[in-house]
Amino acid sequence: MPKKLLLSVLFCCTVFAVSGQEKFSVKGDSLKRTPVKVDTGYVNLGRIAGRKAAFRSALIPGWGQYGNGLTVYRGIKIAAIYTGGTLLVMSFIQNNTKYHQYLTELQYRETHNDQAPQGSPLASIGKDGLLTAKDIFRRNKEVVIFSMVGLYVVNIVEAYVDARLSYFDIGDNLAIKVSPTVIGTQSMMYGYNAFNPGLKVAFRF
């Protein structure tokens, strides 16, 4: 009997000891404790795809759109990016050439008592006209540079948004219905009703 009692006491002590190890103890101020993040297993695929597409488009414009899956619509966007970039580069080269041409003409005249060089195509233009044209081409160069930067940024943003929307589920119940209708308006002055044709747009969720 004493042996059974001793074994029972030891068993109870073992149970309490094991359960006591599961308790959480904090040393110091409990307000400074860093909360432990709970892994829910959820992975935001849209965010990952968006970041990957933005990174690709930042390296090579159009790569993000291609990586999202090549379709006719995305192919048109890639073609638009490179067409716009080509036109902007051509415009920059043209304005830069004209700017330096007028600038060289002005510098020559300042050192030669306002005399135009022999055979210069700008000989008939006065100094004020040369200054105005030089400023115009310089401003055009700046506008083209800002446009190129804007096209580059739009390319990145568009690739990111397109990748995020690819994982956005709008469901199969969303529908849009467009139907003709008649809009009636009443004149307070003459007391008659006027009817105008219109379109009715209805959304179903």
Measured CA to CA, the distance from residue 174 to residue 13 in angstroms comes to 63
Q: In this predicted structure, which of 5-19, 58-72, 136-150, 185-199 has the lowest mean pLDDT?
A: 5-19
Q: One-letter amino acid identity for 106? A: L
The whole model's pTM is what?
0.63
Mean pLDDT value of segment 32-39: 56
Q: What angle do CA 158, 162, 167 make, to 5 degrees?
A: 155
At residue 117, the pLDDT reads: 86
Q: Which two tokens stand for residue 149?
A: 């930067």
Convert the pLDDT of each residue in 151-203 to its tens digit.
999 999 999 999 998 877 655 666 667 777 767 655 555 555 556 677 777 76
pLDDT tens string 48-70: 999 999 999 999 999 999 999 99
Give the start-to-end residue ranges of the domains of the chain.
46-168
Check residue 93 and report its DSSP letter: H
Q: What is the pLDDT of residue 145?
A: 97
User: Looking at residue 180, what is its pLDDT?
Assistant: 78
Q: What share of the chain is helix, strand, coil (3-state, %, to 5)?
A: 60, 10, 30
Predicted confidence (pLDDT) per residue in 91-129, tens digit: 999 999 999 999 999 999 998 888 888 888 888 899 899
